[in-house]
Structure 1
Amino acid sequence: MNNEMTYAKSQASFISKTFLYMALGLFVTFGIGYFVSNSDFVFDMIYNNPAIMVVACGVELVLVWILGRNINKMSVQTALTMFIVYALVNGITFGSIFLVYDLTSVVTVFFVSAVTFLACGFVGVTIQRDLSTFARFAMMALIGVIVTSIANMFLGLEGLEMLITYVGLFIFCGLTAYDMQTLKRIHYESYSMDSQTVGKYAVIAALNLYLDFINIFIYLLRLLARRD
């Protein structure tokens, strides 16, 4: 009985730490995005120079790749720092959101996204069915969404854009449920490991959930937000 209580307490601590890291990343992203949108000098410097946006996207890809490939070789502090840097760089690209959309709408959609995220996460934690098969299908579908989105940048079909939005939202709602289900497995596999290793896994889990939330927010923004 004591072992069960200890394990449950450890699992709750791991999930709380993961959500804390995720929340910190979201705070940094939206904070930087709001700052960029309210600083004419910074906004003009970034958005009038395409090279900066290209570099920012490249840095994001590199950081995710490094975290995914080298997480076992770095300390918790290094992994968390890289995650926060990723969130900060992502915030730079978020600056335009606060100018394109009404601020009240952005805040409203943020809370709608939070409720949606938590609901999907609850499904992932409580459902008994293994969502691994769905996750593989979702990743393949996501590639299709990305390719179609790029094609529609040239086609400009409003109906196709709406379809992409709904499909993308469905994909990331499903991936949120899967990633929340995976949290329990990650904790189980790392339960007997040292605190440094457990902490690094929490950072990776937080990054996955952070990306799920950001994408849910973006797709809901397209559906619900009012433009300025």
Structure 2
Amino acid sequence: MLRVYNYMGLGLVITGLVAMIVASTPALYVPIFGTPLKWVVMLAPLAFIFFFSFKLQTMSGATAQTMFWAFCAVMGLSMASIFLVFTGTSIARTFFIAAGMFGATSLYGYTTKRDLSQFGSFLMMGLIGVVIASIVNIFLGSTMLQFVVSVVGILVFVGLTAWDTQSIKEQYAENYDAESKQKLAVFGALSLYLNFVNIFQLLLSLTGERE
């Protein structure tokens, strides 16, 4: 679990650094966010996730780790736009709020004796609902729907944080070889990383102060 959290933490550092560098460099963000290239940048992280899902079992632990760092960098490129939209103060404040929420729920998932697997199906259905509603709202542009999606999304990802943490802990208790443990650590870090990033982005859309 320590390796999972270390990978996740370093991944967040990479994402933050890439996002800040791009956002502070007009020569980088203008060609990206001022052209249709922004859609490629925004969808690239999704391609990485699908690649991870289908190739994790066949790739080596070292390859999985390298792909994770690359994914975090691409995610940073995608998230650079938040520094152009929201104030630095609100971004920092939201980050610490999200970190507190994530830390508390992950700690709960790690320490609780209650079996959280029964909530897995419910949380996944909620996640699918949030994704569909978000896509629909791209065309509708409804402020109220966006508010509902943000609130429900935060609840879903907070729940997934506890559920994923318990699941990773239980899998790690099994007697896997070193290669399998490394891949499990990378995939676990990816799961928790995505939960944290989504909590942060949804909170920012609710409470962030715009430039």
TM-score normalised to structure 1 length:
0.87
Residue 52 of structure 2 corresponds to which residue in structure 1?
67
Aligned twin of 2:192:
209
Larger radius of gyration between Structure 1 and Structure 2: 1
AA of the residue aligned to 1:21: Y
Report the alpha carbon displacement of residue 69 of structure 1 after superposing the two structures with TM: 2.4
| 1:38 and 2:24 matched | yes
Specify the SS of the correspondent of 2:176.
coil
The DSSP-based 3-state class of the residue aligned with 1:73 is coil
Counterpart residue type for residue 120 of structure 1: T
CA RMSD of aligned residues (A): 1.4
Q: Secondary structure at the match of 2:173?
A: helix
Residue number in structure 2 paired with 1:196 = 179
Alpha-carbon separation, structure 1, partners of 2:162 and 2:179: 26
Correspondence for 2:98 = 113
Deviation at 1:71, TM superposition (A): 2.0
Give me the whole-angstrom Cα distance separating, in 2, the residues matched to 1:155 and 1:121: 34
Pairwise CA distance, 1:55: 2.8
- Counterpart check, 1:124 vs 2:109: yes
How big is the shift at 1:17?
Answer: 0.5
> Are the structure 2 counterparts of residues 63 and 160 from structure 1 closer, same or farther at C-alpha, using a change threshold of 3 Å?
closer
Amino acid at match of 1:160: L
Is 1:183 equivalent to 2:168 in the alignment?
Answer: yes
Q: CA deviation at 1:25?
A: 0.9
Counting matched residue pairs gives 211
CA distance in 1, matches of 2:171, 2:99: 23
Residue 6 of structure 1 is matched in structure 2 by: none
Gaps of 5+ in 1: 1-14
CA offsets per residue over residues 20-57 of structure 1, 9 Å max, x none? 1001111111111111110101001111221x333334
Which residues of 2 match residues 1-228 of structure 1 at below 5 A? 15-50=1-36, 52-189=37-174, 192-228=175-211
